[in-house]
Amino acid sequence: MVACIFVFTACLKDRVFPPAVVPPPGSKTILKAGNIKINEIQPDFNADSGDLADWVEIYNTSDSTLVLQPGKFWITESKSNKAKFTPSIEFTIPPKGFLTIYFDGSKTAVDPSSIIYTEGNLSKAGEFVGLYYLAGPGDTVVLDTVSFGASPSQKESYGRLPNGGSSLKWLKDITRKESNNVNIGGSGPIEPYEGMFIINEIAPNESPDWVEFYNPLTQNFTMKNGRWFFTDDLTLKTKDTLKVDFVVSPASYFVVECTSASPSTEQQIRTKLGLSSTNGEAFGIYYKDDNGQFITIAEQTFPPGISAGRSYGRQPDKTGPFVLNINQTKGLPNP
């Protein structure tokens, strides 16, 4: 582990760093297996809850905008007919964002921000859903497929935990267009997992600099000292470590301050790192498990040019892509 020397690791504004590798604003990525997931399914919709029809939520696991091209992006509830339906217009999904597909054979659902699958409905007795991409003539890519059993209740959906993960189960909290992770927890202990916390806002031109996170869990979570690490260099995960237990409240925002002026407390996480507004940089948070393996909780690069009093934050809050120079909302939802 690389030692952190106090005197050289304060939050200096004009250190020289290589330019951060940041996708250009609005950059788009073509589909491939792994960067899009069927994240949540409601096969027994309840009109009283505001649903328009049965629906499937898809999730962009990547850090770029995904393009769903008509004629190339296929949706089906038939195992024997991969190309049963394709949207007639292009849709995009922002990084780490969501998109709803309404399965409405009656063609009555009205939601221009969502895909309307007009070839049938989902069965609450159990069904199959598949997403495919036509990469070229005779080259069909399986993006994701999910089979589910009978729906236990209109008040439950079938989804991945965490978002985009490998575990699927019936969820007590339906979260269409939002994170499934609120369903993780309950009364038992939580083992940290990739994507557990969401980097929501970064302010690298302040005194101190800071990074805001959102915690989607439904219970208190204690970050144990010596197990959590922070970095401003994504090639080196262990630049600084949490030295005090820190309790994160459920469904809340918490801030990591970049300063060597004072150590972390039970109320405030502080780390001896510097963030460069001049050159752009990155921030990462990691957890070391019982086997000594590092789990990437969250990483985010940011570009140069973030003004004092402004930040680099998600719009919309928690789920949207990052936007340069927004009004700061430290510890609060982004505007």
* Segments making up each domain of the chain, as ranges: 6-26+191-327, 31-183
Burial of 80 (0-12, 13-18, 19+ CB in 10 A): exposed
Region 147-159: mean pLDDT is 93
How big is the chain by its Cα radius of gyration, in Å? 21
Query: Is residue 274 a contact partner of residue 232, using CB atoms and an 8 Å limit?
Result: yes
Check residue 185 and give its pLDDT.
57
Region 243-258: mean pLDDT is 93
Which residue carries 């934050």 as its tokens?
Answer: 313
What pTM, to 2 d.p., does this model score?
Answer: 0.56
2 confidence band (pLDDT: 50, 70, 90): very low
31-183 has the same fold as 6-26+191-327: yes
Check residue 25 and give its pLDDT.
42
Q: Is domain 6-26+191-327 in CATH 3.30.70.260, yes or no?
A: no
Check residue 27 and give its pLDDT.
52
User: Residue 159's beta-bridge partner residues?
Assistant: 40, 169
What CATH number should be reported for the domain whose range is 31-183? Answer: 2.60.40.1260
Residue range 122-134, pLDDT digits in tens: 999 999 999 999 9
13 confidence band (pLDDT: 50, 70, 90): very low
Region 301-330: mean pLDDT is 94
Residue range 176-200, pLDDT digits in tens: 988 887 777 554 567 788 888 999 9
